[in-house]
Amino acid sequence: MFRYFSILIILFLSFEGCSTQQVGRVTLKGIKPSYAFVADSIPEKPDYKDVDYWYLYQYSEEHEVDVFFIHPTMYLSDQNWNQPLDDSLVTAKTFRKSIKSQALLFDSLANVFAPRYRHATFYSFFDPDNNGIQALDVAYEDIKEAFTVYMTEVNNDRPLIIAGHSQGSFLGIRLLKDKEIQDLIGDKLIVAYLIGWPVLESDSKEMPYSFCQTADQIDCICSWNSQKAHATVTSRSFGKGENRYSTNPLSWTMDSEYYDNSYNKGAMLLKGDSLIYRANYIGARNYKGILAIDRPKSKKELGIRRFSRNYHVYDIAFFYRNIQENAKRRKEVFLK
């Protein structure tokens, strides 16, 4: 896990104008909680029967399917190992940077449910001791509880899509490996979009779901991690020594063919509080378990001030319309 996130911190620093050498000296030191994980420090547990503990709790008779969305890491604090849910600043940032720009891409085709959860602070992925693992266990406890409440009290046998990004996908993978959750899902899974975290061969052995090979396959998983084309060094960070699966969202295949930007239905870039549409934005191909993408047309527009080989935060944004159209297609196949 540490190996994977060593590339993400470099990405984070590229936005802040810092050098790679400053990683341990500045950024990690600044976000490391000052105490070891202890039970007394865990924030108050959410009650998922209360809609206030959901970012999105949508239901309309117009939609025949649901989406359960798990947001990525937005908590970079040294004050706690898990986000307290009364932290209004993090809650507002999560809504603007993830719920609005990621989860809501599905709301034209499904009811969307997105829980607020005590997600682990960013440093958890670097912690050499057991603190980060315990923080992620707390996060998973919330996601499992939210999903259980949703399935038993809200879903009402509707087909569903599970989607997440980064920490959300890390927890989504764990969710799909959980036998109790597998029983709850049954035969209702349309597709799982577990983006921004590698799905390894060892993960797949614990799941009853295959990896999507075509654009209309159902009951399967799609995943990718976006990096600059030919980023051979950083590609080794993704599950070294194991086969890791990668979907190309321009073709919805796992082959290594290059698909140019004509296959890109459109990116949706967050600028301030607005989403800016960019047609035919970027080309990509699968390369050694990563999604190797072309150089973005405008790094200035993305807010990147220094060279970066990793585009993790744009895993969904660069392929927004492709994901949207693909979810609709798989939904239609499932409902036939």
When pLDDT is averaged across residues 250-266 and rounded to a whole number, the result is 97
CA dist., res. 246 & res. 224, Å (int) = 5
When pLDDT is averaged across residues 323-328 and rounded to a whole number, the result is 98
Predicted TM-score (pTM) of the model is: 0.90
When pLDDT is averaged across residues 271-297 and rounded to a whole number, the result is 91
When pLDDT is averaged across residues 269-288 and rounded to a whole number, the result is 92
When pLDDT is averaged across residues 146-162 and rounded to a whole number, the result is 97
When pLDDT is averaged across residues 242-255 and rounded to a whole number, the result is 92
C-beta separation of 76 from 90 below 8 A: no
Does 238 score more than 70 pLDDT? no
And the tokens for 103?
């989860």
- For 7, phi then psi, to 5°, come to -85, -30
Reported confidence tier of residue 231, pLDDT bands at 50, 70, 90: low
C-beta separation of 260 from 267 below 8 A: no
Does 1 score more than 70 pLDDT? no
And the tokens for 197?
């975290």
Eight-state DSSP code of residue 15? H
Does 153 score more than 80 pLDDT? yes
Range in 28-37, 59-68, 92-101, 167-176 with the lowest mean pLDDT: 28-37
Task: Give residue 308's pLDDT.
Answer: 62
Task: Give residue 230's pLDDT.
Answer: 59
Task: Give residue 235's pLDDT.
Answer: 34
Burial of 187 (0-12, 13-18, 19+ CB in 10 A): exposed
Burial of 272 (0-12, 13-18, 19+ CB in 10 A): exposed
When pLDDT is averaged across residues 56-79 and rounded to a whole number, the result is 95
Does 298 score more than 80 pLDDT? no
Reported confidence tier of residue 28, pLDDT bands at 50, 70, 90: confident
Does 156 score more than 70 pLDDT? yes
Task: Give residue 271's pLDDT.
Answer: 86
Does 106 score more than 50 pLDDT? yes
The range of the structural domain enclosing residue 11 comes to: 2-335
When pLDDT is averaged across residues 131-160 and rounded to a whole number, the result is 97
Report the number of distinct structural domains present in the chain. Answer: 1
Does 6 score more than 70 pLDDT? no
3-state secondary structure of 88: helix
Task: Give residue 306's pLDDT.
Answer: 53
